[in-house]
Structure 1
Amino acid sequence: MNSVKSILKVVLNAIIVAALSYGLYYFVFNIWLSSYTNHGESVEVPNLSSMSIQQATQTLDELGLTYEVDSVNFDPKMKPYSIIDFYPNSLSKVKEGRRIFIKANPKTYRPVELPDLVGKSKRLAFTQLDISGLKIGNIIYEPDLAKDAVLKILYKGQIIKPGTVLPRFAVVDLVLGRGMLTGVRTPNLVGLDITSAKNSIKENFFELGQIKFIGSSQDTIGARVVYQFPFGGDAYDQGQPIDIWLSNKTMSEIKNQLKMLDREYKKFDEDTIQGNQYLDMLNKNNPQPKVEEIKVEASTSTAPQAPKVSEEIIIE
């Protein structure tokens, strides 16, 4: 009898535990959870296609929906800040707080960076500019050893550096090397100071060669070019060096030194003449012109002195 009562008691306890468990399960998953997650409640996604991005975000805020906007790619066929696409689609039922993905049209194209083109070939520069979304305007050629290589990039007339941010489809001009010309007349530098001589050499696309001095002074402030090689007016290739001689003395004071230079560079025994005159004389087979020798009167109180030997210093 006692054993039967014990069995009934165990069965009764099991029934009570099962009933309590079922009640707790029903309460959690049907009453409390539904209330917590707004089960059965939904929000209808509005049609955003006719709205601007400002109107769309304001509408979603009012409905309790979140959003993520992608405005990277510009579509010129659509108005700026208009909605291109969105997901979930309109009339879809979503829960409050659901994220809506919006693809919007930006105001204009995304800016691009200028690639590093200096020193690159013309063909490679054209390809990289096209990939970057930039347009090529004028092609300008300047004398340079690197033929058809990019020397500079211009935007609105100003030199720009690699990495400069430009509007997409901006027009840039390319400055390319055209190679050096041959047989170009060299500038006449005799009588110029060192700064003017350097500028003249650079403007004519030659290089400055050796700088030498005639006389004891090596001061370039008051010195003038008294000799050059190749001579002014000679036919010469651009990019080649021109050597110059400087002196603080007058041409008559260094007459003998100039004659020595003529013998070395012109193979000519008379006084200094311009290089182009000498070449023209040889080409026309004219007789050697006589140049009147300039005599410098010595003081009666002192004996004539031998001319000083020129002192040359080579500056690399």
Structure 2
Amino acid sequence: MFRVVVTDDRFAGDYAPELGVLEACDAELVAGYELGTENLRAVCADADAILVNQMVLDADFISGLRRCRVISRYGTGYEKVDVRAATEKGIWVARVPDYCYDEVAEHALALLLAVTRRVSLLDRQVRSGGWNIHSSLSIPRLSGRSLGILGYGGTGRSFHRKASGLGFSRVLICDHHADHHNVAVGEAEIVDFQTLLAQSDIISIHIPMRQENYHLIDADAFSKMKTGAVLINTARGALVDQEALLAALREEKLSAAGLDVFEEEPPIGDARLSSYPQLVLTDHCAYYSEESIVELKQKCAENALLVLQGKAPASFVVDLSQTFRPDNF
């Protein structure tokens, strides 16, 4: 019998979706996080597969894995797993990139509408007895504006489709993989990063967090944006320099921003975030719907199942069927 260990949980301990998948290979599922830190390491040492949420699996942890053949991440990112250490031990690192394209796109659109229509601010003031507040606010018409989409993978394309009915005069796409043949809907312009910054009224971020993207949106990037631009981030917090973002809001370079992700999560260390009424904040929940979580859990388990059956996972970080080369990293 195979042993599959879950290292940490954020879904209330319901493993029916995983168990439904893993019954195909006679595997037991162990909630390792219930055993305490030291016991978790011990049980993982003899695991054939590991399913991981937010726990950091560093080189030291991975060095203690004696039987593991696959580490499957509940989610898109894999920055908390030492991929090099796993690959050098012949362990697949798998992820689930495609379970929440629609959810993230809808959340980005919700943030866009909330910040431009000042929904949160109006809600708070009406609840406290205010009325006719809108006359003192700057609320732009979206129709005729320019929308910039930074990153055109699954969520970027879905966001484009969902935003297409708002009447933007231009849609600018920045992604070196994009071309006019794979534009999701209507017409769009494929542009470089500098053009996106300079010509977009609204920028929505849909790129992965990689080392070269750290603080991609920094003080220099904000300086090149239109005055009064709007920024939406449902991707990763570290893509945006938070200090530069707050400065851009303070100096009114940005008129508003909608953030679902932060450099530090939860962002309890920066009380300044709550002092900007033109900010709308949510708690890294863009991925979430009842349906997306079931799909995520099934696909995370399917990655493990495939490896235990002697196959490659559906979505991997490094292809172990190819000869390992350090320059893969």
- Normalising by the smaller structure, the TM-score range is under 0.3
Normalised to the residue count of structure 2, the TM-score between the two structures is 0.20
Q: Say which structure is richer in helix.
A: 2
Of structures 1 and 2, the one with the larger relative CO (CA 8 A, separation 6+) is: 2
Work out which of the two has the higher radius of gyration on C-alpha atoms and give 1 or 2.
1
Q: Say which structure is richer in strand.
A: 1
